[in-house]
Structure formats: C-alpha cells, structure tokens
Amino acid sequence: MLKHATTVPPDDEGGVAPGRRIYHVDMDAFFASVEQRDNPRLRGLPVIVGGDGRRGVVAAASYEARLAGVRSAMPAGRAHRLCPQAVFVAPRHAHYRAVSAVLFEILHRWSDRVEGVSIDEAYLDMSEGLADVDVLSNARALKRRISAEIGLTASIGIGSSKLVAKLASAYDKPDGLTWVRSGREREFLDPLPVSQLQGVGPATAARLNDGGILTIGQLRRTAPELLQPVFGRQIERFVARAAGIDEREVHGDRERRSISQEETFEADLVEFDEVEAIIRLQAGKCVEKLRQNGLFARSVHIKLRSGGFSTLTRSRTLGGWTRSPELIAEAAIEMARAWARYQARLSLRLVGVGVANLNAAPASDELLAADPAGPQQRAGPE
C-alpha cells in the first residue's frame, strides 16, 4: 500500500532528484469543515452544506455525512433519506472565499508557482531546490502551517506530474500525505479503478468495465485498436495518462488573493487596548500595500494565537470595497472583541490582520464611504 509515502528508497539521499515534483493540495470537505471549525457544536456530526428544501442541493458534506453515502450535488431529499440525522447549514460563500484567500497566501509562501484549480485546491511546482530527503518533511510542514493558520486539514499528493499528484492527494483522505516517487508511477496507478483517470466519466467507465477493463493498469495494457471505439481521436492521450505521462505545466498565478500583517510577541498581550492598537497599526500597513498595488478589499480577516498556542481565525465581508484603514481596523477589532468576551483571561502571543477579496477597479457606487483613497484612484498603483 502507498499510505502517506512510497516505501521505495530514493535514488539519491543527498541531492536533488531529477525530474519534476508537483504538489496537489486539496482541502478536506472544505465548506463543511469551515462550518465545523466555526461552530464547535457541529464537530463530529454529519454536516451538509446546502439548502434542505424540496429543490435543495448538497454543496458539500462532512466526512461523517459521507459515511452515510451523501455526496456533493446530491438532491437534498435523497441526502435526508440517507442521513436523517444530518445537520443542514446554509452556505456562506463569501466567508469561504475569505478563508480560501488565507490558504492561497500560505501556498504562495511555499512556491512561486501556484496554480489554483478551485477555491480549495491548487497545484504547486516544487521542482527547484528541494532535496529528495526533504520532500516529505516540507509537505508535512505545509500541512502544519495550514492547520495552524486556518484550523483545517489538507491532503497533499506529490508526484512527477499533475495527474499523479492529484490522484495521490485523493488516495488517503482526509488529512493524507502520499508521495509517488519518480519511476513508481505505474506501480501506483495500475491498481486504481479506471474511473479515477482524469477525463474518464461515468459513461466511458461503464463502457470500459463492460469490456473487462476495470483498472488503469488494464487500460494501459490493452491493445489500442480495442480502445479506439471508446476514445476515438483521444486514444493516445488516455493511454499516456494511464502510464502516468502528463507534461502539463503548473501555471503560476501571482495575482494577489490577500494581503496580511501579523506579529508574534515575546510577552503575551493581556490588555485589549494593546490588541486594538496593534490591529490599527496592522490595518494601516495592509492599506499601504493595497495602495501600492492599486487594489481595494472587501473582506477582512484576523488571526489570534493564545499563549497556549491555540489559533483562531475569523473573517468578515464588508458591504463594499475599501482601502480605508479605519474601516478595516474597526471590522477586525469587532471580531477580536467578540472573541475576547468569551475568554476568562486575555493572553495573546500573535495578532494578525488581513484583507482579501481584492479588486483593482470596483464600481464607484460599490466603494464604501470614509475611504481616503477616493474612487478616482482605483484603477492603478499610486
């Protein structure tokens, strides 16, 4: 089994192994996990994000709900029948985007080449300068950083191509880490169901299964003339994929998804006045970066880490676009104050403020008041 990492020894323990190393980072049940993180009463329960009305559709399901057979895009009525005890939660897409912005900020710290696939999924090209012996420790460090900063788990697959990395990330979910070393791609791919091969949909998988082709390995070993009726002109591409051949590049997207400032203190902060002063300072620095990049923000997030090293993140979507330090600071302070009300004793070793949901040219009627930058300056850097 290829749990967490292949057991095949690396070719060179001391140097950088040849070829590409692609990470595929995929958050675990993202929408449902955010809801369970934000509401401790939902933890351990089957949670379904989506409408529960007659025409409702499942947007996401926690792993507890998935055990009952609930899946994304399933009608809510069927989900109810499969999992009567499920808790339905209305989706908060703006909030999920704000959490995603923090995630991508972390990913860009790890690599200059990050290609976002969706709100909770991305490829990272880690081919340059990473010694073979350090691959797993680097991926584990990334998983720990994601967990520490946004309180969620991610599964990471590592391979020589996008195709292999994506299949590897799904291999041991949730909270998995699977590395398919270069040269071991066929060993990993061959036992997998043919339906897992990218581009093979349910109808195509059914045709292949009817012909006795159940696994990717069987597809790879099947004579091309027997596959021609199924794949047509695409036959060479699918045979190459079955062998793990995928030359697609990771197209780095350096568009800023968020801007943040944070500070760790030698002595814990114990007075909220101190926290408020730090937040106002950090909001001002975020606004400086917004202006430098000609951007406006619509979401504000905070990060607070206690003296006991527990980390809280909260986000809020504003009613319009802004780069006003006062508006950003007030939103962050309100979130921090709401958290502090429920603490028996304030003790913070880290405070962070960030902005997300960025836009270079919002409509003038969507700009919030009290923005000293003014709508006329929204189109470019200052």
Which range (7-16, 123-132, 197-206, 228-237) has the least confidence?
7-16
Contacts of 237 (CB under 8 A, 6+ apart): 199, 231
> How does residue 172 score in pLDDT terms, banded at 50, 70 and 90?
very high
Q: Is the pLDDT of residue 4 over 60?
A: no
Q: Is the pLDDT of residue 280 over 80?
A: yes
Q: Is the pLDDT of residue 371 over 60?
A: no
Q: Is residue 1 part of a domain?
A: no
Q: What is the pLDDT of residues 96-111, one digit of tens each?
A: 888 888 898 889 889 8
Q: Are residues 126 and 234 in the same domain?
A: no
266 burial via Cβ count (<10 Å: 0-12, 13-18, 19+): exposed
Q: Is residue 262 part of a domain?
A: yes
Closest CA to 131 of 7, 17, 20, 22: 17
DSSP type of residue 367: B
Question: How many C-beta atoms lie closer than 10 Å to residue 363's C-beta?
Answer: 11
- Active site residue: 64, 105, 121, 149, which one? 121
Q: Is residue 358 part of a domain?
A: yes
pLDDT of residue 377: 30
Q: Are residues 139 and 196 in the same domain?
A: no
Question: How many C-beta atoms lie closer than 10 Å to residue 353's C-beta?
Answer: 29
Q: Are residues 83 and 161 in the same domain?
A: yes
Assessment of whether the complete model's pTM goes beyond 0.95: no
Q: Are residues 92 and 236 in the same domain?
A: no
Q: Are residues 275 and 131 in the same domain?
A: no
More confident residue, 4 or 75: 75
Q: Is the pLDDT of residue 10 over 80?
A: no
Q: Is residue 174 part of a domain?
A: yes
Q: Are residues 66 and 143 in the same domain?
A: yes
Beta pairing class for 154-159 and 22-27: antiparallel
Q: Is the pLDDT of residue 13 over 50?
A: no
Q: Are residues 31 and 162 in the same domain?
A: yes
CB 260 within 8 A of CB 358: no
What is the average per-residue pLDDT within 165-187? 94
Q: Is the pLDDT of residue 372 over 60?
A: no
Q: Is residue 5 part of a domain?
A: no
Looking at every residue in the chain, the average pLDDT score rounds to 85
- Residue 76 sits in a domain whose CATH number is 3.30.70.270
Concerning whether 121 is annotated as a catalytic residue, the answer is yes
Residue type (1 letter), 270: V
Q: Is the pLDDT of residue 380 over 50?
A: no
Q: Is residue 12 part of a domain?
A: no
More confident residue, 342 or 252: 342
Beta pairing class for 47-50 and 22-27: unpaired
Please give the residue range of the domain that contains residue 344. Answer: 258-377
Which range (15-29, 161-175, 216-230) has the least confidence?
15-29
Q: Are residues 221 and 312 in the same domain?
A: no
Q: Is residue 2 part of a domain?
A: no
Q: Which residues pair with 356 in a beta bridge?
A: 258, 299
Is residue 11 classed as helix, strand or coil in its secondary structure? coil
Q: What is the pLDDT of residues 37-61, one digit of tens each?
A: 999 999 999 999 997 776 788 999 9
pLDDT of residue 45: 96
pLDDT of residue 376: 32
Q: Are residues 139 and 275 in the same domain?
A: no
Q: Are residues 117 and 198 in the same domain?
A: no
What is the average per-residue pLDDT within 70-86? 91
Q: Are residues 149 and 65 in the same domain?
A: yes
Q: Is the pLDDT of residue 317 over 70?
A: yes
Residue type (1 letter), 212: G
Total domains, the chain = 3
pLDDT of residue 351: 93
> How does residue 366 score in pLDDT terms, banded at 50, 70 and 90?
confident
Q: Is residue 114 part of a domain?
A: yes
Q: Are residues 168 and 291 in the same domain?
A: no
- Residue 305 sits in a domain whose CATH number is 3.30.1490.100
Q: Is the pLDDT of residue 294 over 90?
A: no
